[in-house]
Amino acid sequence: MDEGKAFREYLNELKKHTPYDFSEYSDSSINRRLQKILKDYDISMDQLHERTKSDQEFVEKVVEEITVNTTELFRDPDIWTSLYDNIYSSLKNKKTINIWHAGCSSGMEVYSNLIILNELGLLERTKVFGTDINARMIKQAKSGKFALQFNKIQLDAFKASLKKRPIQGISSIDFDKYFIFNKSEDTLEAKDIIRKVPWFVKHDLVNEEIPFYNRFDLIFCRNVLIYFNSSLQSKIFKLFHDQMFAGGCLLLGNHEGMSGFYKTKFSKSGPVFLKNNSFHFKY
């Protein structure tokens, strides 16, 4: 049996024993992830099937391995200036601002955003939610504790970018206000001023109902949909669309576009997609 087919069969098996459904993840990416699991655990396809049927803890590990957990502080430094120009400037006069980071991984982008919001004087009016399928990542996000050495590079890159392209006059940020830099333990710890603000919830974007009633002004979903096939992407675009205020904004990864029907329901403005306020029959 060819490998791709074997992986499909495994995903069907996984679906039977768990709430997770990866059948609409993109083929090549899911194949790579499963290949990696077989290699890392040094097990055969049959053994993977067996353990999935009997060992719930193992299944959680598989799910954590399938999902990709890359995130950085201030990934794509220029984005934050554009976000101000296209979004935050218009939210300045709103009484409350709701933001959802869908697929937030360990929350580094959530914390980056909280810092920007605080610098702009908007933090007190903002509610921020972060969700991810991976329980381990949500736990880390809640702790606000990250590796120092790796993240120092991103903070320096952002500082340099800010000097060149200030955000509403802000050309430098004192990061000591937001983090404890613990060199001996190589950790970067978010201080309460940002750590206590967001709600982090484990949530599977694909199969679970959205865990909050709130509608959003801004949804971050960066480099998550690249792992989904086009039909699943369309479902998620609908879900975001329905969960946003008119004029609300969706921020995808730097090299992600929108396709399908919902593309017509958003307009691109700089790097963000704004929800159109068009009249829209349900049938």
Q: Are 256 and 103 in contact (CB under 8 A)?
A: no
Q: Is the Cα dihedral 213, 18, 15, 43 positive or negative?
A: positive
Q: Which is nearer to other proteins, 135 or 153 (CB)?
A: 153
Which one of 6, 18, 21, 26 is in contact with other proteins (CB under 8 A)? Answer: 26
Q: Which is nearer to other proteins, 39 or 282 (CB)?
A: 39
Q: Which is nearer to other proteins, 50 or 253 (CB)?
A: 253
Residue positions counted in the chain: 283
Q: How far is the CB of 241 from other proteins (least distance, A)?
A: 19
Which one of 246, 257, 269, 277 is in contact with other proteins (CB under 8 A)? Answer: 257
Residue type, 5: K
Closest C-alpha among 78, 143, 83 to residue 108: 143
Q: Which helix (H) or strand (E) holds 199?
A: strand 199-202
The reply on whether position 4 binds other proteins by CB under 8 A is: yes
Site map 69..108 versus other proteins, x via CB under 8 A: -x----x--x------------------------------
Q: How far is the CB of 40 from other proteins (least distance, A)?
A: 11
Distance CA 229, CA 67 (A): 14
The reply on whether position 256 binds other proteins by CB under 8 A is: yes
Which one of 2, 16, 28, 192 is in contact with other proteins (CB under 8 A)? Answer: 28
168-196 per-residue burial string, b: 16 or more CB within 10 A, e: under 16: eeeeebebeebbeeeeeeebbbbeeebbe
Which one of 9, 12, 17, 27 is in contact with other proteins (CB under 8 A)? Answer: 27
Q: At what angle do helices 135-143 and 56-66 cross, to 10 degrees?
A: 70
The reply on whether position 32 binds other proteins by CB under 8 A is: yes
The reply on whether position 231 binds other proteins by CB under 8 A is: no
Distance CA 162, CA 71 (A): 20
Q: Which helix (H) or strand (E) holds 37?
A: helix 27-41
Closest C-alpha among 190, 188, 160, 154 to residue 172: 160
The reply on whether position 255 binds other proteins by CB under 8 A is: yes
Q: How far is the CB of 45 from other proteins (least distance, A)?
A: 19
The reply on whether position 149 binds other proteins by CB under 8 A is: no
Q: HSE (CB half, 13 Å, CA atoms) of 245?
A: 14
Interface residues toward other proteins, by CB under 8 A: 4, 26-29, 32-33, 68, 70, 75, 78, 153, 157, 223, 225-227, 230, 253-257, 259
